Amino acid sequence: MTEMETRTWLGWDRAHVWHPYTQMQLAPEAVGVSRAKGSYLYLADGRRVLDAISSWWLTLHGHCHPRIAEAIANQAASLEQVIFAGFTHQPASQLAKQLVEISPAGLEKVFYSDNGSTAVEVALKMCIQYWKHRGESRRTFLALEHAYHGDTFGAMSVSAESAFTRPFSDHLFHVKRLPFPAPSLEASDAFSPTETQFLSELRAACATNDIAGFIYEPLLLGAGGMLMWRPEILTEALRITQEFEILTIADEVLTGFGRTGSMFASDKVALTPDLMTLSKGLTGGFLPMGVTLTSQKIFDAFLSDDRSRTFFHGHSYTANPISCAAALASLAVFKEEPVWERIKTIETSHDELGPALVERHSLHFRKIGTIAAFEPAMSKGYLGGNALQFSARALAAGLVVRPLGDVIYLLPPYSTTADDLVFAFDVLDSILTTGNR
Catalytic machinery residues: 21, 148, 251, 280
Nearest to 331 by CA among 277, 284, 264: 284
Residues 6+ apart with CB under 8 A from 323: 283, 287, 288, 289, 317
Nearest to 277 by CA among 298, 297, 255, 261: 255
Helix (H) or strand (E) holding 144: strand 140-144
Give all strands of the β-sheet with 290-295 in edge-to-edge order.
107-113, 290-295, 275-278, 247-251, 211-216, 140-144, 175-178
* 364 φ/ψ angles, rounded to the nearest 5 degrees: -85, 130
CB 75 within 8 A of CB 286: no
Three-state secondary structure call for residue 409: strand
Q: How far apart are the first and last CA of the chain?
A: 38
> Distance between CA atoms of 283 and 347, rounded to whole angstroms?
23
* 313 φ/ψ angles, rounded to the nearest 5 degrees: -150, 140
Alpha helices in 229-272 (DSSP H): 231-243
**Under the phi-then-psi rule, with left for phi > 0, alpha for psi from -120 to 50, and beta for the rest, what region is 129?**
alpha
HEC profile of 169-226: HHHCCCEEEECCCCCCCCCCCCCCHHHHHHHHHHHHHHCCCCEEEEEECCCEECCCCC
Helix (H) or strand (E) holding 143: strand 140-144
> Distance between CA atoms of 93 and 99, rounded to whole angstroms?
10
Q: What is the dihedral of CA 331, 336, 337, 343, to 10 degrees?
A: 50
Burial environment of residue 406 by CB neighbours within 10 A (0 to 12, 13 to 18, 19 or more): buried
The partner residues of 220 in beta bridges, in order of sequence, read 228
> Distance between CA atoms of 429 and 423, rounded to whole angstroms?
10
